[in-house]
Amino acid sequence: MKITGVELRRISMPLVSPFRTSFGTEHTRDVLLVRVVTPEAEGWAECVAQEAPLYSPEYVDGAADVLRRFMVPAVTALPHVDAYAVERALEPLKGHRMAKAALETAVLDAQLRASGESFARFLGATRDAVPCGVSVGIMDSIPALLDAVGSYIAEGYVRIKLKIEPGWDIEPVRAVRERFGDVLLQVDANAAYTLTDAAHLARLDAFGLLLIEQPLGDDDLVQHAELARRLKTPVCLDESIHSAAHAAAAISLKSCSVVNIKPGRVGGYLEARRIHDLCRAHGIAVWCGGMLETGIGRAANVALAALPGFTLPGDTSASRRYFAQDITKPFELRDGHLDVPTGPGIGVEPDPGVLAKVTASTQWLVG
């Protein structure tokens, strides 16, 4: 396969409600889509970088820039391209894993559409539907939070994740536990605490949480290991795990007992699968995180979440949790699960009419 050209497309997707975390509030997803064209097939992917570098150092304008200047030229120069060749060609470029993941995933989609194989089959999925959780943002009040959680539970979500930060932690968790009984419940701090908060975070032990996600800083693997010794609640890492090497370090240091795998954060589905394999071999549970993806990113995540080591429900929620209108056929919850796409590649495509309506700009890069 040889690449004819690559399209970078920016779309603007209003969220159905603002999403507040310890690092900021999002109202609209400003998404970069990558379309790879080859004589055999086209491939689509979504870059998960956000508008501002608050969750990670990457941001969407930066991702578009590094793709345009360095990554697309490196890949269009290859005589034979597949996802592994893209990974090797981009390896000398430091960082920018979300940008790399988008290009590698678009090529993987094209390659699999050409061969007629689904993402799920390529990755080694063992299930045809995955149980879904939902990530619930920080709210203005406890009653507003209880309303939101109540409607998600009514829709069928099998696990609730509450975003926390200092000043919004013990009381919201207590209120959700009291109102909704033994629902599967976990929290995500997005790096809002330090090790000096250990005694405070240990107060969460009383609520039987599945896990606490990324309580400390991105670079704090050693401090997470110390915190994990002081908490009964299992520690899960998100921001700290950039690659399989980081996962190996976290496992050796005992920094966590659970890993949130986001393919964008780790540079793509090939690396995401390696982290899954490594964690599975070491008895570390994994689950599939999310970055408020459209149907394009969600389709591939749902395929990944169907691998055998994904033993906890993911943040792979239905389209309507994010958008009034998705750019693909919407993902809908069925008995708390999403069906794993079975068609070639990611198994879904953007609706041209919807895509035209949400597109802010396009750029065509020729090899």
Which residues belong to the active site? 163, 262
* DSSP-based three-state secondary structure for 71: helix
Q: Of the two residues 291 and 348, which places its CB atom closer to Mg ion in the complex?
A: 291
Measured distance CA(224)–CA(167) in Å, rounded: 21
| Residue 72: CB minimum distance to ligand OSB, A | 25
Out of 55, 119, 323, 331, point to the residue binding ligand OSB (CB under 6 A).
55
Give the angle 256-260-261 at the CA atoms, nearest 5°.
Answer: 125
Which residue in this structure is represented by tokens 């389209």?
319
Considering only the stretches 166-174, 275-283, 286-294, 323-331, report the one whose residues sit in contact with ligand OSB under the rule CB under 6 A. Answer: 286-294
Query: Which of ligand OSB, Mg ion, none sits in contact with 291, Cβ below 5 to 8 A by type?
Result: ligand OSB
Residue 264 in contact with ligand OSB, rule: CB under 6 A:
no
Out of 118, 190, 255, 328, point to the residue binding ligand OSB (CB under 6 A).
190
Could you give the string, one character per residue 312-331, with x where binding to ligand OSB holds by CB under 6 A and - elsewhere?
---x-x--------------
| Residue 317: CB minimum distance to ligand OSB, A | 5
Size of the site for ligand OSB (CB under 6 A): 11
Out of 41, 285, 291, 296, point to the residue binding ligand OSB (CB under 6 A).
291
Exposed e or buried b for every residue in 37-71, given b needs 16+ CB within 10 A?
A: bbeebbbbbbbbbbeeeebbebbbeebbebbeeeb
Residue 281 CB contacts under 8 Å (≥ 6 apart), including other chains: none
Out of 238, 271, 326, 349, point to the residue binding ligand OSB (CB under 6 A).
238
Q: Of the two residues 1 and 291, which places its CB atom closer to ligand OSB in the complex?
A: 291
Measured distance CA(167)–CA(159) in Å, rounded: 23
Query: Which of ligand OSB, Mg ion, none sits in contact with 290, Cβ below 5 to 8 A by type?
Result: ligand OSB
Q: Hey, how many other C-beta atoms are within 10 angstroms of the C-beta on 132?
A: 28
Out of 106, 285, 292, 296, point to the residue binding ligand OSB (CB under 6 A).
292
| Footprint on this chain of Mg ion (rule: CB under 5 A) | 188, 213, 238
Residue 34 CB contacts under 8 Å (≥ 6 apart), including other chains: 6, 7, 8, 9, 44, 45, 46, 47, 67, 102, 103, 105, 106
Measured distance CA(170)–CA(147) in Å, rounded: 18
Considering only the stretches 109-117, 272-280, 284-292, 305-313, report the one whose residues sit in contact with ligand OSB under the rule CB under 6 A. Answer: 284-292
Measured distance CA(199)–CA(213) in Å, rounded: 17
Measured distance CA(274)–CA(304) in Å, rounded: 12
- Return residues touching ligand OSB (CB under 6 A): 55, 135, 188, 190, 238, 289-292, 315, 317
